[in-house]
Amino acid sequence: MKYATILAIAMLGFMAACASAPKRVAQLDEARAKVHTLSQDPLAQEAASRELAAARATLEQAETALKEREPQERVAHLAYLAGRNAEIGLARIEEAKAREEIADAEAGRNRVLLEARTEEVDKAKQQTAVAQADAAAQAADADAARRALAELQAEQTQRGMVLTLSDVLFDTNAATLKPGAALAIDRLSQFLDQNEETRVIIEGHTDSQGSDAYNEELSQRRALSVADELVSRGIASSRFEVIGRGEAFPVAGNDTAAGRQQNRRVEIVFSDQTGRFAQGDPAAGSPR
C-alpha cells in the first residue's frame, strides 16, 4: 500500500511536469529556420535590415507567447509573421543580388564597349599616322622626282612635265638618232629606273618637209627609235606610249634650216608618281 502511494505521487509529478513544459509548434520551428537563414546572409543588414528586425521581433514574441502558455493559435500566428518577414527579407536580398548582377553586367558591357572604342580610336590614329607617313613619303618622292626632272631640264606644262630632247636631233628624212643622243637617253633611262611608277609618252615630231602622211609615219619612227634605246637600257615597254605627231606641232618656223632642225625632235611627257597623266588619254588631244 505504501509502494502504491509513492508510485501514484510520482506519476502525478511527471504529469505536472509535462503539463508545465511548453508544447512544440511546427510553425514556430519553421519561423526559427527562416529567421536564422536571413540572419546568416551577408547582405541582410544592407538589403533587408527592416525585414530582419521585424522577423526577429515577431519571433521573440512567438517564443514568449509559447513560454507563457498563450493560446497555440497566437503562437502560430506570431510564428507565421516572423517567417513571412524573413521570406520578404530573403526576397529583398535576391532583388539586391539581381540588381548587382545587372549592374556588373552593364559595367562589363560598358567596359567592353570602351575597350572596343579605345581600340578603334587607336587603330584610327595608327591608320592616320601611316597615311600621313605615306603622304609625306609620297611628297618626298614627288619632290625628288621633280628635282630629278629639273636636272633633266624638263619643263612644267599643262600636260605635266615635258622633256624635249634638244640634243636628240634628226637629219632631214631620217629617224636615226645622232651620236649626241646617247647621254640624254642614259639620263632619261636612269630617271625611269629610279622612279618605277612613272610612265611616259614618247612623241615624235618632224619639220614640214614632205606630205602629212609621210611626216606622221616619220615622226612615229623617230619616237620608236627613242623607245628602242630605252628598252635596250632595261626600261619595260609597258611603261611608255609611242605617238607620232608629224609636223602638226612645230616649236619654230619651218622657213629656215635652223627652225626645221628644232622641229625634228622627240618630246617626253611624264606621268605623276602614280602613273597618271595630267590630260588623261595620251593618244587624245593636242600636246600643246
Instruction: Quickly tell me which residue has 606622221 as its cell.
Output: 216
CB 189 within 8 A of CB 239: no
- Alpha helices for the chain (secondary structure H): 2-20, 26-40, 44-47, 49-67, 72-151, 181-194, 212-232, 257-263
Domain boundary among 102, 132, 152: 102
- pTM over cut 0.85: no
| Domain match, 159 and 264 both | yes
- The answer to the question of residue 122 being in a domain is no
Instruction: Quickly tell me which residue has 549592374 as its cell.
Output: 103
Return d(Cα 228, Cα 236) in angstroms, integer.
Answer: 10
| Domain match, 150 and 263 both | yes
- The answer to the question of residue 220 being in a domain is yes
| Domain match, 178 and 252 both | yes
pLDDT tens for the chain, residues 1 to 288? 455 554 444 454 444 444 444 567 889 999 999 999 999 999 989 988 999 999 999 999 999 999 999 999 999 999 999 999 999 999 999 999 999 899 999 999 998 998 898 888 988 888 888 888 877 776 776 677 667 777 778 888 888 899 998 756 667 687 888 887 888 899 999 999 999 999 999 999 999 999 999 999 999 999 999 999 999 999 999 999 999 999 999 999 999 989 998 898 899 999 988 888 887 544 444 565
- The answer to the question of residue 48 being in a domain is yes
| Domain match, 169 and 96 both | no
- The answer to the question of residue 18 being in a domain is no
Q: Domains in the chain: how many in total?
A: 2
CATH number for the domain including 218? 3.30.1330.60
- The answer to the question of residue 134 being in a domain is no
Q: Which domain holds residue 65?
A: 23-102
- The answer to the question of residue 127 being in a domain is no
| Domain match, 84 and 177 both | no
- The answer to the question of residue 31 being in a domain is yes
Phi, psi values for residue 162, rounded to 5°: -125, 130
- The answer to the question of residue 177 being in a domain is yes
